[in-house]
Amino acid sequence: METSIQNGDQDVLNLIICTGKRVREIRKNKGISRQKLSMLSGVSPRYLAQLETGSGNISIGLLQRIAGALETRIEWLIGKDDPNCSDVMRVAEKFRSASVQVQGQVLDALGLEPHDTTRAKRICLIGLRGAGKSTLGGNVAKELDIPFIELNREIEKNSGMPVAEVMALYGQEGYRDLEAQALARIIQAQDKMILAVSGGIISTPETYNLLLRSFHTIWIKTSPEEHMSRVRAQGDVRPMAGNPKAMRQLKAILSSRKTLYEKAQLQLDTSQKTKETSQKELVELIDAHHFLTA
C-alpha cells in the first residue's frame, strides 16, 4: 500500500527517489517494460509508475516482489551504493559465489575474523604428533556420534599410497599440496565432524589459515617427554634412534611452533592424564563452547 509523501522527512524522500531510480534503471538495463514487470511481480502499473517517479512510498513486501521479478537483491534497490557502478557491490556479489579458499584470502587481506557459521560444526585437533589427537579424536567422535577423519588417511586415499611414499615420491612440497587439496575437499563435503591433522600443517600459512577459518580448533598439547614416549609406544623408534640430541630438537620444534599452535581457539593439555580423563575434558570443552550446537 503506497502513501503520498508531502512535507515528509527529506532523508526518507531521498531514499524513495533513489529507490525508484534504481528500479527504473535496472528494469531498462534488462529490457523489461513496466507492463511486463507488473505481470512478473504482481505489482500494479500504477504502483510501479509512482515508485519509479519517486512519488509513492511502496511497502517492503511489494518491493521484495519487484526485486525478485528483476532478479536482483532488494538491498541493491535501497542501499547507499549503486549496484551499477559500485565496486563494493561487485566485490560483495563475487564474494558470495567464491570458493571457501578465495573467501578466506579476502578475509585475511581485510584482517577480518570468520564468523562461527563459517566453521559450521567442524572441529579440528591440532598439535605435534604424540599429543593424542587421533586417539582422543576418534574416541570423542564415537561418543558424540559424529564422523572422525584423519587428514593423512584422506591424503593416502586420494593419492593411492601411504604418506611415507607420498613424501618419498613428491617431497615435502608435494605432500603439502596434497594436504591442502584434501582439506579443501573435506570442508566442501562435511559440515559436522572431528578432524585430526598433522603437526606440520601450520608450516603452510594458506592451508593453516583455511583450517582456522573453517574449523573450531583445539590445540592438543603435552610435555616433550610424553610426546617422545607416546611416539615410541606407537612403535616408531626413529625419534630416538642414533640421535642423542632428539629431545633437544623436539623441544626446539615445540618452542618454534608454539605461537602458531596458540592461534587455535582452545587448548587441552594431556600431560600426565589418562586417556579417559583427557577424553572427558575434551567433550566438556566442546560442550561448553557449543561447537556442535551453534
Q: Which long-range contacts link 204-209 to residues 24+ away (Cβ below 8 Å)? A: 204/176, 204/179, 204/180, 206/101, 206/105, 206/180, 207/176, 207/179, 207/180, 207/183, 208/260, 208/263, 209/104, 209/108
Residue 51 has a CB neighbour count (10 Å cut-off) of 26
pLDDT grade for 115, boundaries at 50, 70 and 90 = low
Structural fold of domain 103-288: Rossmann fold (3.40.50)
Edge-first strand order for the sheet with 216-221 is 148-150, 192-196, 121-126, 216-221, 266-269
Q: Where are the domains of the chain?
A: 10-91, 103-288
The CA radius of gyration of the chain, in Å to the nearest whole number, is 28
More confident residue, 134 or 237: 134
Quote the pLDDT of residue 250.
83
Nearest CA to 52 among 96, 84, 16, 88?
16
Share of the chain above pLDDT 90, in %: 38
Query: Facing residues of 267 across strands?
Result: 219
Q: CA-to-CA distance for 264 and 221, rounded, in angstroms? A: 12
pLDDT higher than 80, residue 81: no
Q: Which residue has the cell 534503471?
A: 25
The overall longest dimension of the chain from CA atoms, in Å, is 90
Give me the helix-helix angle, 34-41 and 60-69, nearest 10°. Answer: 110
For the ranges 45-49, 244-248, 257-261, which has the lowest average pLDDT? Answer: 244-248
Fold of the CATH domain 10-91 = 434 Repressor (Amino-terminal Domain) (1.10.260)
Per cent of the chain over pLDDT 70 is 84
| Eight-class DSSP state of 58 | -
